[in-house]
Amino acid sequence: MIFTKRQLLKNSVGLVAVSALGLRAGQSRAAVSEFRMIEAGGASGESIEKGYIAPFTEKTGIKVLRESPSGLGKLRALVESGDNSVPLLEVGSPELYQAVALDLVEPIDWDVVNPDPIFDEAKHEYGFGYQYYSTVMAWGEGQRAPKDWAEFFDPEALPGKRSLPDYPSYILPMAALAAGGSIENVYPIDLDKAFESLERIKDSVSVWWQAGAQPPQLLQDKEVQYAASWSGRVAGAPGIEFSYQQGLLDLAYFVVPKGVDPELKKAAMGLLHEMSVAKNQAVAADVISYTGPSTELEQLLPQDRIGEFPTTTANKSVQMFNDGQWWFENADEVEQRWQEFKLTL
């Protein structure tokens, strides 16, 4: 699934012609007054608005237009159609490696970003890791708490309906862990074992969710008793308990679509700088309990609900970190086996 440049060019000629008719926005100008960004949407989008865009616009006068949702499909469409008006687009960690391999992104200008101190994994050549989020076990109030994924994946030990992500990269590590092993050696994932765990539990799974809003709603409606959910969706939600124990920590990145207007890119690097500032990250974390990459963020977070955040020292130490490189290398096999598994439901 790797494209040669010529291939991309050939396919995009027509689209370029169409976009030349007037779809192009944000032409190269001396002074940038606004740019577009594509992000995940929802409360996460609001956290970007309050935490980062607000101080950025105040400083520079540049407006930022948010669009959502994001995805590799949109990135590919932007690049192949020659639309150069979007300097920032959000991707998950497995998508980052795929975007690089497909030649859809250009390097971050780290000299211009000039970030405050942030964790190393957030400083990727092609991506600015701006937001940590976890996939965690959650359950309805009053249910017995699972002590680990092995118990979560055992419908006899822990009776009740489940809701699991309809995304292999957010559930296979847990499924592998349920079959034995520890969070340190979950990668490389043993796919046979992981799918065995899923086979064992599939009859108890009512809903394979695609939207992050689904699991908290399903738990509150008592449609399911247990769910694997994104942490920010269940942290502080009424009637829901959750645990970071063996959670899957992940980092969302902003990338720069290839061929973007250089002026817009330069302006966007200024917004990335705002994303590295601990004070701004604390504001964003107040909107949704995902955390930015600053090494100094922990003491700025509200201490009364410090347990809600995925990257505090206590929470980070009990979780495993998602390995985007592994997902990228095994994408084809995973996708095929996932599709086949889903057909046996």
Partner 1 sequence: MNSTATAFIRPRRPARLGRLGATGLGFALPVSLFLLVAFDVPVLMMFGWALTSAKGMFAPFVEFFTRPAYIKVILNTLRIAAIATVSCAVLGYVLAYWLRSLSGTARLVALTLVVLPFWVSILVRSYAWIVVLGNNGVVNRALLDLGLASEPVAFLYNDLGVVIGTTNLLLPFLVLPLYAAMIRIDGRILQAAETLGASRWTIFRRIFFPLTVPALAAGMVLVFILTLGFYVTPAILGGGRVPMVANMLDMLINRLPRWELASAISILLLILTLLLHLLYVRLSRQAGN
Q: Interface residues with partner 1 (CB under 8 A)?
A: 1-4, 7, 10-11, 14-15, 18, 71-76, 166, 205-210, 221-223, 331, 335-336, 339-340, 342-343, 345
Minimum distance from residue 150 beta carbon to partner 1 (Å) = 23
Q: Are 200 and 180 in contact (CB under 8 A)?
A: no
Give the nearer residue to partner 1 in terms of CB position, either 105 or 264.
105
Nearer to partner 1, 19 or 289 (CB): 19
- Minimum separation from the CB atom of position 64 to partner 1 (A): 23
Of 121 and 166, which has the nearer Cβ to partner 1?
166
CB of 102 to partner 1, least distance (A): 8
60 vs 206, beta carbon nearer partner 1: 206
Do the Cβ atoms of 152 and 245 come closer than 8 Å?
A: no
Question: Which tokens hold the place of 184?
Answer: 């340190």
Could you give the 3-state DSSP secondary structure of residue 207? Answer: strand
Kindly state the smallest distance separating residue 167's Cβ from partner 1, in Å. 8
Query: Looking at beta carbons only, is 32 or 255 nearer to partner 1?
Result: 255
Nearer to partner 1 by Cβ, of 110 and 167: the residue is 167
Torsion angle of the four alpha carbons 64, 126, 102, 45, in this order, in degrees rounded to the nearest 10: -30
Distance CA 204, CA 249 (A): 25
Alpha carbons 105 and 101: distance in angstroms, whole number:
9
Nearest distance, CB of residue 92 and partner 1, angstroms = 10
| 312 neighbors 301 (Cβ within 8 angstroms) | yes
Tokens of 292: 């930015």
b/e map of 296-315 (b: 16 or more CB within 10 Å)? ebbebbeeeeeebbbbbeeb
3 state DSSP class of 331:
helix
**Residue 137 CB, nearest distance to partner 1 (Å)?**
18
Q: What six digits make up the tokens of 59?
A: 């400083």
- Residue 5 or 58 having the CB closest to partner 1: 5
Backbone torsions φ then ψ of 228, nearest 5 degrees: -95, 120
CB of 244 to partner 1, least distance (A): 25
